[in-house]
Structure 1
């Protein structure tokens, strides 16, 4: 565990992975559903979190879909440095899936940092952010790029953004730009194709044994401090999302998320994913 001794840098990278994990399980999109496959009714998943090859925590996700609406809750727990560093966060999101695309309604993230409670709540009106509540409610740093009204239009919260990952055909799963607002910062996620990767299963699932690996570039737009992106400790240009197609359920699920840094990579890897398809067929993906 010595490599985790990089202190605040290592902790910030691990925490960054957890925030990315806020909703990395993707629900089916309107386009995916159009492939003669109805929406799954439920999806539950457990992911393992690791840093520099050492397991440091878990991320659990439960999502439901019914009557054109989605709701999801998740929880992440991290323990590193033999328990000296602990972090736990809760996430939730809800909204609608319409013919015009995803329409988020609410997002909430909360966690405890030592004795301090931190939370973010976002509300939407249509596809525009209508409310933001932060605890503690500190004014933006004077060094931060000021958010403009147009930065809050046609955006997704972190949960909705990851759901949108599934809004694709195989040809464009890794060819898109997703605009995100997390309550403080506005940024874009640029997806591009990197590779196809064979997958070995110990427990046959009946699904394709292949991952589509997307390179994801994090592009800050507003709300950030420019100095934070000068020689950063996270490689924002080479984040990876490895997606797995589940044709029987009409969805793609993130199977692995990797955030690289000079002191090691933070990785989230699927351990078990259980899907209840629209016809009540049970689909299990297990490492």
Structure 2
């Protein structure tokens, strides 16, 4: 696809980053975009090793998808800053959950979280063992930004011919004792389910082939999302969400699922 924004993956030579590279190759092949494999090296003395690791990751991707346009590159600089800079021209930025190789500093959790927070495109943090089956799970609140997360979640589900599970966590008032006046649990659940159906209506019409399941959870958002995502191939969350169901798409929740989700997590900037 001439002129298409590439799928960009950050690698560091570790097994988690190689899994991230293969996930990114699958995504690039699925949507018909080129793949850019980037290793950010912040130590000139390791330049030779950096070239080897970047080329190895790229070659694995080429073997997995013959014909896929794959470019390997070693960049100098601070890993998080450089990957965030690359996100300006990327369709999606992919990283592993933890690095354990010589360049382990590049993709440790703190850097991955920083990239997911500041990137200008969706960021996928590849956790666990990626699977090619199962639904796409998405967290929903009543913020305008939630529609951005839904747009990406429906697209990913449609691209994968997968179902979609939309999760609406109940307000903090329901599970935080002694802070708010007691509310009727059934009333809260009914209101949340109705609001969830309203948020999904337009996207269901736009993607009639995507099977949608609504899930209203009487749990903290992080716990609810990670539980529902046990059999998911991708969990989609936003950050900087606002609204009556406050907290679902805030950074603290996105950070929580990045550390605990059982599957790859896509973080979509909604602000």
Normalising by structure 1, report the TM-score.
Answer: 0.26
Larger Rg: 2
Q: Higher strand fraction: Structure 1 or Structure 2?
A: 1
Q: Higher helix fraction: Structure 1 or Structure 2?
A: 2
